[in-house]
Structure 1
Amino acid sequence: MASWGEIEKEAPEFAAKVRARFDAGTNKTIATLRQDGSPRISACEAQFTDGEITFGMMSDSVKLRDLRRDPRLAMHSPTLEPPEDHPETGPGDAKLAGLAVETPPPPDNPHEDAGFFRIDIREVSLTYVGVPADHLVIESWHTGHGYRRRTRT
């Protein structure tokens, strides 16, 4: 697993594109696992802070209980629709997966029992329409494999 800073060092151009997708809006989608193992998706805010991806959630939220029980998660960037007549100019979608690691609350935290986390990243991907607009481009980074770029028609 890796910190965001490690991915930035290993694949800086890729990391910059992924970060731009995540920074394109406030609300990200987080996937956690319910007690029975089925998936749960929820809205979440996340930040890139000191080489880490960090996020927090309200005390007693179901997603907080999910992560304290099972730290596996996936996170998706805000979804922005590409222009219908020029899909190759759209931003694409970024995703990552890994483990949530609980961290101490920030010093100015007014929310008792809220949960604060950083992500130990296992994989990151970025998918977008290529030029010409007849294929998809998939860029990814995986623990142990590093950066890859491939296309699909």
Structure 2
Amino acid sequence: MTMSWADFEAAAPEHAARVRKRFGEHKHHVLATLRADGSPRLTGLEADVSRGELWLGMMPNSRKALDLRRDPRFAIHANPGSGTESEMEGGDARISGRAVEVTDPAELARYAEAAPEGEVPEVFHLFRVDLTEVVRTYLVMPDMCMDVWHPGRPLRTIRRGNDDAAPREDT
């Protein structure tokens, strides 16, 4: 099942707002892609939500772009900042999905025109994201909680305490 950012916002609006806020707190995040041999590659990345989509823009022929062309699966982890309590107050966020390369010149031009001046190079790779999972992890003392969303399923919250043998799911 393919899900855009707009679909995600419609399905889980509060979760989407919290995740978007978390990603908006820093410009650079961590992208995980798969190398040709299947091993992971971690690189920095800017992610942009606009026109109801999550977009990933990259320099021409960057390793991460070539990874995504070969295998579109990825995960993005929100920049945790310095890790202070105040920076992590809203929790931590992670997005997984499949990257679909945009090659249509008109679509690339629309994306570039909507960006602030000077932020998009003349030549670049652009990928639109099909979401497969969006997770926010946060603390409700004494538990660690994870809000987990998958397309076509309701948002669920998993709680784990220090003394839990297994996580328990809120209903």
In the superposition, the TM-score normalised over structure 1's length comes to 0.89
* Correspondence for 1:52: 53
- Give secondary structure in 1 for the equivalent of 2:152: coil
Q: Distance in 1 between matches of 2:31 and 2:80?
A: 13
- Give secondary structure in 2 for the equivalent of 1:91: coil
Tell me, yes or no, if structure 1 residue 115 matches structure 2 residue 87: no
- Give secondary structure in 2 for the equivalent of 1:106: helix
Spell out the pairing of 1:108-147 with structure 2 (5 A cutoff). Answer: 108=112, 110-112=121-123, 114-130=124-140, 133-147=141-155
Say if 1:54 and 1:118, in contact at 8 Å, map to a contact too. yes
* Correspondence for 1:63: 64
The AA in structure 1 aligned to 2:146 is I
Spell out the pairing of 1:1-153 with structure 2 (5 A cutoff). Answer: 1-80=2-81, 81-83=83-85, 90-103=89-102, 104=104, 105-107=108-110, 108=112, 110-112=121-123, 114-130=124-140, 133-153=141-161
How many residue pairs get aligned? The number is: 147
Q: Distance in 1 between matches of 2:130 and 2:121?
A: 26
Say if 1:58 and 1:111, in contact at 8 Å, map to a contact too. no
For structure 1, the 5+ residue unaligned runs are: none
The AA in structure 2 aligned to 1:13 is E
In the superposition, the TM-score normalised over structure 2's length comes to 0.80
The AA in structure 2 aligned to 1:100 is A
Say if 1:96 and 1:123, in contact at 8 Å, map to a contact too. yes
The AA in structure 1 aligned to 2:15 is F
Q: Distance in 1 between matches of 2:43 and 2:97?
A: 16
Say if 1:82 and 1:91, in contact at 8 Å, map to a contact too. no
The AA in structure 1 aligned to 2:147 is E
Percent sequence identity over aligned pairs:
40
| Between structures 1 and 2, the one with greater strand share | 1
- Give secondary structure in 2 for the equivalent of 1:40: strand
Q: Which moved more, 1:33-42 or 1:74-83?
A: 74-83
Q: Distance in 2 between matches of 1:149 and 1:2?
A: 20
For structure 2, the 5+ residue unaligned runs are: 113-119, 162-171
- Give secondary structure in 2 for the equivalent of 1:29: strand
Q: Cα distance, 1:5 vs. partner?
A: 0.6
- Give secondary structure in 2 for the equivalent of 1:126: strand
- Give secondary structure in 1 for the equivalent of 2:109: coil
Q: Cα distance, 1:118 vs. partner?
A: 1.0
